[in-house]
């Protein structure tokens, strides 16, 4: 029973991050369908974060009612920045860019997030890099390769890869107003998505820093979503210029997208991401993004009748190759840290072991302590080493 519990604890970060990627992939698919039917991405971001805040608030009030840290002014500023980076900048730019591209392309471009996050974590000293080590060189090269793959997906088009189900579906939906993206719109959408991914990477770094001073994942999630709701509402009012029709909710794909995105991707996403980040760091949280791309590519060709071209496939392959160079280097860092941590537990033979003996005088409350140091003998060293 104990071994099963320990195994689950080790697998829990991987299970959480895989769940998040499936959740993100599902949102990309339904969001693209809703955008094709006229969903406003400004109001989508506003309602999505509002729903997330309302859903997570009861859990935060109950489970963190005793251990919630004090909200200082500096933490408040970090939360407002978090609410601006991902709920406002990333969500609006990402889904605005998706209008000009495809769901598969938007998901594939998110694979540059691990590389961006790695560079920022390195600059903020949240990631260890030693250019004399081969695994550190692998992380740097992988970062450059990932960015190169993103450029290939943006610039190179190539011939269309015909898939049986996309051909049939495209013919069936030809009369339903399927849109064809021009080269200029493709580049415009790509730049929006890249800018959104950059903001998303900044969000991960700031979240990792904020969790050190405010280690309450549920409460932090609520505050981020509340800040995002407020700032998105201001942006929507300015962008829509008082158009009240943009705020109306309808029982359609847009409402489903808002609820799904709020509960799964914003609510659970920020919360589980915070838990994983405290254990593994921000680079690990973003390392599984290619899984989302694979899911979206498969479902997008079936549900949305999206066509794949050679340039995007080649770019995606390059992105995945570069990404896993980064993951390989990251795994070597973890292994070396574990080995070093185990070695630090065994004292050398010539090291003295400090011991403190405490005695209490009869009839008095103040204890007298005597500190002595005993050098370990061979028998003691063998016991320490487990032999």
Q: Is 245 part of a structural domain of the chain? A: yes
Count of structural domains within the chain: 2
- In whole angstroms, what is the distance from residue 76 CA to residue 78 CA? 5
Average pLDDT, the chain: 79
Shared-domain flag, residues 18 and 114: yes
Shared-domain flag, residues 211 and 357: no
Give tens-digit pLDDT for 235-264. 999 998 878 888 988 888 899 999 999 999
DSSP state letter for 307:
P
Shared-domain flag, residues 241 and 105: yes
Of the two residues 226 and 128, the one the predictor is more confident about is: 226
Shared-domain flag, residues 186 and 334: yes
Give tens-digit pLDDT for 110-163. 878 888 888 898 888 887 777 778 888 887 888 788 778 877 876 777 787 766
pTM: 0.75
Shared-domain flag, residues 309 and 361: no
Beta carbons within 8 Å of 265's beta carbon, 6+ residues apart: 20, 23, 24, 27, 48
Q: What is the DSSP string of 258-274?
A: HHHIIIIIIIIHHHHHH
Shared-domain flag, residues 366 and 297: no
Look at residue 172 and tell me whether its pLDDT is greater than 70: no
Residues in the chain: 387
What spatial distance separates the first Cα and last Cα of the chain, rounded to whole Å? 26
How crowded is residue 241: how many other Cβ atoms within 10 Å of its Cβ? 7
How crowded is residue 67: how many other Cβ atoms within 10 Å of its Cβ? 9
Q: Is 108 part of a structural domain of the chain? A: yes
Q: What is the pLDDT of residue 320?
A: 81
Q: What is the pLDDT of residue 269?
A: 94
Shared-domain flag, residues 328 and 380: no
Look at residue 234 and tell me whether its pLDDT is greater than 90: yes
Look at residue 272 and tell me whether its pLDDT is greater than 50: yes
Q: What is the pLDDT of residue 190?
A: 86
Q: Is 29 part of a structural domain of the chain? A: yes
Average pLDDT of the residues in 64-74:
91
Beta carbons within 8 Å of 165's beta carbon, 6+ residues apart: 301, 302
Shared-domain flag, residues 21 and 103: yes
Q: What is the pLDDT of residue 174?
A: 41
- In whole angstroms, what is the distance from residue 172 CA to residue 169 CA? 5
For residue 320, the enclosing domain spans: 11-344
Structure token pair of residue 159: 């011939």
Instruction: Choose the weakest-confidence range: 4-8, 214-218, 236-240.
Output: 4-8
Q: Is 165 part of a structural domain of the chain? A: yes
CA 93 from chain centre, in angstroms, equals 17
- In whole angstroms, what is the distance from residue 90 CA to residue 366 CA? 61
Shared-domain flag, residues 336 and 204: yes
Shared-domain flag, residues 297 and 376: no
Shared-domain flag, residues 238 and 378: no
Q: Is 375 part of a structural domain of the chain? A: yes
| 3-class SS string, 64-120 | CCCCCCCCCHHHHHHHHHHHHHHHHHHHHHHHHHHCCCCHHHHHHHHHHHHHHHHHH
Residue 385 confidence class, pLDDT cut points 50, 70, 90: low
**Rg, the chain, Cα only:** 26
The answer to whether residues 309 and 107 touch, using CB atoms and an 8 Å cutoff, is no
Q: Is 229 part of a structural domain of the chain? A: yes
Q: Tokens 């292994």 sit at which residue?
A: 335
Of the two residues 82 and 136, the one the predictor is more confident about is: 82
Shared-domain flag, residues 175 and 93: yes
Look at residue 382 and tell me whether its pLDDT is greater than 70: no
Q: Is 312 part of a structural domain of the chain? A: yes
Q: Is 207 part of a structural domain of the chain? A: yes
């Amino acid at each position: 029973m104990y071994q099963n519990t320990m195994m689950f604890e080790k697998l829990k970060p991987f299970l959480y991050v895989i769940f998040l990627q499936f959740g993100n992939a599902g949102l990309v698919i339904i969001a693209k369908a809703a955008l094709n039917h006229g969903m406003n991405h400004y109001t989508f971001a506003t309602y999505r974060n509002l729903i997330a805040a309302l859903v997570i608030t009861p859990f935060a009030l109950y489970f963190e009612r005793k251990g919630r840290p004090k909200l200082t002014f500096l933490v408040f500023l970090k939360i407002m920045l978090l609410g601006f980076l991902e709920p406002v900048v990333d969500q609006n730019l990402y889904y605005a860019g998706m209008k000009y591209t495809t769901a598969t392309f938007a998901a594939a471009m998110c694979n540059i997030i691990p590389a961006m996050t790695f560079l920022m974590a390195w600059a903020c000293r949240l990631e260890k890099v030693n250019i004399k080590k081969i695994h550190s060189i692998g992380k740097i090269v992988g970062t450059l390769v990932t960015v190169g793959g993103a450029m290939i997906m943006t610039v190179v088009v190539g011939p269309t890869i015909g898939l049986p189900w996309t051909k049939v579906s495209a013919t069936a939906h030809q009369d339903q107003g399927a849109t064809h993206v021009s080269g200029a719109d493709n580049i415009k959408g790509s730049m929006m998505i890249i800018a959104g991914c950059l903001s998303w990477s900044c969000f991960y770094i700031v979240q990792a820093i904020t969790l050190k001073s405010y280690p309450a994942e549920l409460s932090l999630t609520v505050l981020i979503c509340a800040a995002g709701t407020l700032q998105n509402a201001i942006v929507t009012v300015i962008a829509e210029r008082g158009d009240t029709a943009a705020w109306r909710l309808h029982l359609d794909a847009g409402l489903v997208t808002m609820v799904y995105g709020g509960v799964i991707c914003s609510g659970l996403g920020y919360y589980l991401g915070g838990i994983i980040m405290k254990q593994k760091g921000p680079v690990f949280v973003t390392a599984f993004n290619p899984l989302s791309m694979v899911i979206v590519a498969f479902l997008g060709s079936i549900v949305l009748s999206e066509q794949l071209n050679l340039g995007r496939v080649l770019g995606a392959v390059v992105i995945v190759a570069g990404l896993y160079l980064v993951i390989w280097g990251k795994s070597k860092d973890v292994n070396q840290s574990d080995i070093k941590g185990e070695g630090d537990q065994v004292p050398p033979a010539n090291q003295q072991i400090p011991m403190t003996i405490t005695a209490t005088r009869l009839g008095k409350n103040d204890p007298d302590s005597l500190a002595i140091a005993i050098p370990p003998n061979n028998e003691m060293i063998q016991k320490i080493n487990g032999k």
